[in-house]
Amino acid sequence: MTIRPAGVDEGIVFIRKDIPSGYRIQADYNNVADTTLATTLGTNGASVSTVEHLLSAFWGMGIDNAVVEVDAPEVPIMDGSARPFVEMLKGVGTKTQGKYKKVLVVRREISVSDGVGTAMFLPATEFKITYKIDFKHPIIGQQSYSMTFTDERYEREICPARTFGFLRDVEYLQARGLALGGSLGNAIVLDDERVLNKEGLRFPDEFVKHKILDAVGDLALLGMPIIGHFVAYKSGHKLNNLLLKELMSREENREIIDRPAGEATPERFRSLRIPAFRILDAGRA
């Protein structure tokens, strides 16, 4: 995988270098082709999967425009978290591009449910996340976490959280030719009673924090920061994507700030706390 700079308003674009035509796949919520185990983007017969951790790192560090070249149908899993991507991005640095970000403001409550989990947006003056999970496992059980989003909190508390899975599921998938790269090096693996990774957990609540990491990556497909409170219970990639589609289909539930350079912020937006992101100096951030 290679990440290259992109122009203003180009957004995040994936290019499959292993396909002769070099299809460009825009990171957009309308291009989600599959949500089984991971988020897969697809257009014109080409796809790229497991994009959520990289997109989470982009959004967490305030990066709007980038070209991602991959030579396989999947983004590298790395250690199962977004931390390697964040460290890569800090290593090369970021720069402003002379244009204000578009920002979406949630105006009314909106929610989706699949009968088991729920995901919703509530109006708020800043971007908040509240997430609750419930697994019938002695190590996980019920976990919840709530945060007001900042890039520093994301880097410290969310991006190191690894994906997790159960040994019985890994064995089932690998017997069918799936998840062949899955190992203790790129995921937390649990048997029926304990964590199998020798190093243990990075956080006591690493499981719910990884769900937040995934959600940030899924919400990044909106293409702009959000001012609102994202609340989820047993949600996943499918519900997160459905929530974005529901939000964008209902104009009365949201408003988009698109302020040209030099124009003052409209009065109705002045109480909002729009996320601020550090400009990362290469090697010193």
Q: Cα(68)–Cα(1) distance, rounded to whole angstroms?
A: 7
By the 8 A CB rule, do 9 and 65 touch? Answer: yes
Burial 246-266 (b: 16+ CB within 10 A, else e): bbeeeeebbeebeeeeeeeee
Q: Residue 239 and residue 236: Cα distance in Å, rounded?
A: 6
CB 106 within 8 A of CB 123: yes
Query: For residue 180, which phi and psi values (nearest 5 degrees)?
Result: -70, -20
CA pair distance 240, 214, nearest whole angstrom:
9
Residues 50 and 7: their CA atoms lie apart, in Å, by 24
- Give the separation between CA 39 and CA 72, rounded to whole angstroms: 15
Q: How does strand 118-122 pair with strand 66-70?
A: unpaired
**Chain centre distance of CA 106:** 19
Distances (CA, A) of 278 to 44, 281, 284: 36, 9, 12
- Kindly list the catalytic residues: 237
